Chain A
Amino acid sequence: MQQQQQPAAKELHSNQLAMQVVRRLSKRLQKRQQAESGATAADLIQMVRREAVACAGRDPVDAVSQNACRRVLKILREEAVHSLGASAQLLSSLQNNLFSERPIDYSQVKADSLRDAVSAAIKELSLELETSLDDLRSHGAAHIGENEVVLTLGYSHSVARVLQTAAATRKFQVIVCDSGPNFSGSRMLQLLKTVPQIDASLITDAHAFAVMSRVHRCLLSAQTVFADGGLRAECGTHGLLLAAKRHSVPVLVCTPAHKLAPAYHSVERANVYLNPACLLEENLSFAEVHCPKYDLVPPGLVTLFVTNLGGLAPAHLHRCLAEQYHQDDYSIDAGEADGDAGVLDD
């Protein structure tokens, strides 16, 4: 009754998903610019915001697509400000926000003037997204020492890369926790067994507290990182982090920066519930089965976020957010949804 989940036929890593969204947006931007001669920056911004709402509508749990839209919005806004001139730049910079009086009027900026700058910036963004996992693993590997015991949960591409990079120069042990209802731990174990310097073993997460006294590091991944330091991660992460906290084991969460969402964990309660049949057989279905795919982990349990931009303390997440996204794009309301936004014209 316990089934090993096969990887989906087209399983996308988060950076590939983000790159898809960015590509789609850049095409639409170009089309819009060609179609409408009088388009302003405000129109383009509006279009991308609607796309972000549509992404949220398609999959409430997926923050990566929304974040990709936010990155594109940041590009648009920045380039618009550049083209408005030096005085406007002065107004909008982070340091001067306190003193700026006039908000930027994006409808003053013509879309044509932005075209080259925006496409160059989008290319840079795509490159950054593509190499995000590679950058991440070198930052992460530094935290694992020789002969240390590392605990991880389930299968994660980022964590696997980090461990493989670390194993190139030192020997250590990895204990993989397999937690229901996802049971992706065996997949991680198979991968790690092929790495010569890693001594890998598999336990269920019931053992997490029992082994924690011998563990040196917890290395995990998350599906989304919230602005207050909370996480949406694989089911079983919360219990594991509590055990780590009890034993004072440092917890490193390896996520690329595009998983960082400007939302709060206490507000975002979206979760995915799996089919109970994966746990229980038919005749036991008188019991109400609760099997969430994700855990919503409150803040305060993570020591360090390892991103492609480097290590980030939980207290500094807001700074990374401010650099990545524009303040006005932090919240994108569903009210802006429009008819054409739902169409995927790839």
Chain B
Amino acid sequence: ELKMLPTDSKQRSGKEKQQKEKQSLPASSAQEGKSAAQLRAERRELQERQRAAKLQKQQEQKQAGGGKGGSKTSNPSNKAEAGSKKSAEQKQSAPIPTSADKKAQSSKLAPPGDTHQQQQAANKKKSPPPQQQQQPADSSVKSLPSFFRHLKPPMDAEQITSSVYNEQFAQSQIEAAFVQLSLMVAHEQLQGPAARCLGLARALRQLLCTVPVQDLPRLIKPKLDPNMRLLRSAKPPTVLESYLEQRLANWVQSAGSSAENSDHWLVDRMNEFVIEQIEKARVTMRASLKSKINNLDCIMLYKPSSLIFECLEDIVSEGTKMPDVRIILLDSPPSWEGQAFLRRLQGHRLLSKCPVRYAMLSAAPSLLSDTSKLVLEGQALTANGNVLAPVGTAYLANVAWSHRIPCLVLCHACQTWDQVLIDSVSYNELGRVSSDSQLCNIQYDLTPGDLVTALITERGVLPCTGSPVPSH
């Protein structure tokens, strides 16, 4: 069974319930696919009617409340029927009831905001099919520094469902699993380097089950393309995802005659990939990291994922010879991953052996006098030897370097990338922020290779200059 790496358990349970909702629609074969589309259309009409009523209420609320400050334009939503720009502004006016809804009904299933935005997507059915990429509303672009304005703002559930609608209008079929995955990716539910790749593998499995084996080499590409388009429009692919896609294409190409292969040969190949490249690699990396941690070490962590958590568990379960290790956990808004990690640690037996200190990233320099080493996780290794990692990693690596603290970065070997990057600006992703926050949130930053002491991969412990150079 593939493991999804959860961040916030509450949100995850909400998404699982949404998944069950979607899976209740039969979407597994071409025959029943049409009925799924019909069902969806009917559901949308119903939601549309409900939505119109809700909009009326909203409008009254808005006019009473006076809107949310000068930067967000609040056009009365009557004019919202025509044109995608107006509907984008409407999306901006949605946050008021959405956030209120979220506070009131936090225990309910899938965040009401999503349903609300789906209703808005349903409303667009009246207008001619809108473009796949919505124009961002003015206020969100303005709050970005100018050099980040080439980045696409993050997609909403509404935009994803409208993309789904477009694809179906063009008569290509989108798997429910891919829709769910795109939603999770767009809402940043999947944290950690391997999580998105595992999600993709799982979605691919479901897709492959729908294609009869003898037609596989012929049908796989046209089936896969619309799904991957949807996923890519949510967020650009991570290195691991691109690698998986590439391998898939290779397998299909080198398949040979289908009579020789077993029924599920492609699914088997994919499972093998996941086990070899991701799960076994994790085990090896954990062992390498453990060997680098000595007795009485104080380890500084920033945005740790389950990989580091498992490694700590390994260390602690060593027995009587286990090293006496302390942890400093750093955190930064708006994602507060450090607090999520603390919640995992809560009540865990790790705590009795490993005392934890928590601080904001800004306090890092004052804590470095206590630290022995810094352990970080990388997203990708660029072809020129820099490390792409969650934002804040470069800041921390620089601070540690000035204080002569070794910095270890965990990275899968297949996370090497053929792109060449020298700063964090040319390639990046915009992250989500809450609607009332003016924060500009970037997902990644680039750590120069000379700030990293060692790269821990499953193939060994390397310097950053050990990245493979692509042959041109």
Taking beta carbons and an 8 Å cutoff, which residues of A are in contact with B?
A: 2, 149, 173, 175, 178-181, 186, 189, 193, 199, 201-211, 213-214, 235-236, 238-239, 242-243, 245-246, 279-280, 283-284, 286-292, 295-296
Contact = CB atoms under 8 A, between A and B. Distances in A.
B440 A290 contact: no
Contacts of B145: 149, 173, 175, 201, 203, 211, 214
B151 interface: no
Interface residues of B, number: 50
Contact of B439 (A178, A208, A286): A178
A37 B225 CA distance: 98
Most buried by A among B346, B423, B425: B423
B391 interface: yes
Contacts of B345: 286-287
A208 B445 CA distance: 10
B351 A239 contact: no
Given A239-B395, A295-B366, A201 B359 contact: no
B342 interface: yes
A190 to B, nearest CB: 9
A179 B330 CA distance: 13
A284 B342 contact: yes
A220 to B, nearest CB: 13
Contacts of A280: 339, 342, 358
A235 B358 contact: no
Nearest to A181: B360
B329 interface: yes
A207 B358 contact: no
14 contacts: A181-B360, A186-B438, A193-B71, A201-B143, A203-B439, A203-B442, A204-B332, A206-B361, A213-B423, A284-B346, A290-B359, A290-B366, A290-B367, A295-B366
B115 interface: no
Contact of A210 (B144, B366, B442): B442
A180 B398 contact: no
Contacts of B439: 178, 202-204
Given A210-B445, A213-B423, A286 B351 contact: yes
Interface in B413-472: 423-425, 428, 438-442, 444-446
Q: Is the interface of B mostly helix, strand, loop or mixed?
A: mixed
A32 B426 CA distance: 68
Q: Is the interface of A mostly helix, strand, loop or mixed?
A: mixed
A210 B424 contact: yes
Contacts of B446: 210
Given A239-B365, A284-B342, A289-B359, A180 B333 contact: yes
A173 B363 contact: no
Given A289-B359, A291-B359, 19 more contacts: A180-B361, A181-B362, A193-B71, A201-B144, A201-B440, A203-B145, A205-B395, A206-B361, A207-B440, A210-B444, A211-B425, A213-B424, A238-B399, A279-B358, A284-B346, A284-B358, A286-B346, A288-B355, A290-B363
A236 B346 contact: no
A179 B360 contact: yes
A193 B69 CA distance: 12
Contacts of B331: 279
Most buried by B among A201, A207, A209: A209
B143 A202 contact: yes
A152 B90 CA distance: 34
B363 A235 contact: yes
Contacts of B356: 286-288
Most buried by B among A149, A175, A203, A291: A203
Interface string B341-361: 011011000010001111111
